[in-house]
Structure 1
Amino acid sequence: VLQRAVPSLNEQQVEEAGIYMAKNRDVFAKAFKSQPDALSELLVESE
């Protein structure tokens, strides 16, 4: 799905993005349920 949405991504990038999203699925689920501020949790973790 990601590769179709962003054709410039190569297979490795798509796989890495998928793994990242899977590891943080709870945060992404909140964001997709009308809580986009939940994504800020991911920014705090990466600092």
Structure 2
Amino acid sequence: QILKYPLTTESAMKKIEDNNTLVFIVDIRADKKKIKDAARWD
């Protein structure tokens, strides 16, 4: 499992509101491509 859980700190919530960006805790061994593929919704 690449994406573990969403981060819900105050700074993460601000990023969600201001930039429409979700913040996730991910597996330490995952690279950008694996994270991108795991986050894809289609």
Q: Tell me the TM-score normalized by structure 1.
A: 0.34
Q: Bigger relative contact order, structure 1 or 2, given CA contacts below 8 A and separation 6+?
A: 2
Compare the two structures and name the one with the higher strand fraction: 2
Compare the two structures and name the one with the higher helix fraction: 1
Larger Rg: 1
